[in-house]
Amino acid sequence: MKHEIIGGNFTLADGTPLPLSKAVRAGDFVFLSGQLGFDDAGAIPSGIKAQTSHCIRNMASILQEASLDISHIVKTTIWLTDLSNFAEFNEVYQKAFPQLPPARSTVCSQLALPSALIEIEAIAYGQKS
């Protein structure tokens, strides 16, 4: 089975390409690379709530290119840099998935970009329209 790249490759705000795809469709599964809380200008805002909201919005945007939405997400993996942010993260996350929340793992870890407080990776399931 061949896979299809969704959303193209990642590039940094300065145009530097990264060796990864935003998402890959394999059959009815779409695997999203980890999303950071980049805003429309390519900056990472301060605060866990803002970054979580942007992560979810960025996932929704990529899924739209695959003719899916966040309700198709069946699994997420969350990396937080500080567990004291867990309650505020969970508040935003719960609003995004009010019913049928995906399976989820949450861990505490350092991230590649020092200003990033959260990264969310997701797996979605749904047929291409």
**Which amino acid is residue 114, in one-letter code?**
P
Bridge partners of 31, per DSSP, are 24, 123
Is 28 a residue whose pLDDT tops 90? yes
Q: What is the pLDDT of residues 35-64, one digit of tens each?
A: 999 998 888 999 999 999 999 999 999 999
C-alpha angle 41/43/47, rounded to 5°? 125
CATH for 4-125 is 3.30.1330.40
Quote the percentage of the chain above a pLDDT of 70: 98
**Residue-level pLDDT at 91:** 97
Is 1 a residue whose pLDDT tops 70? no
Alpha helices in the chain (DSSP H): 48-65, 86-96
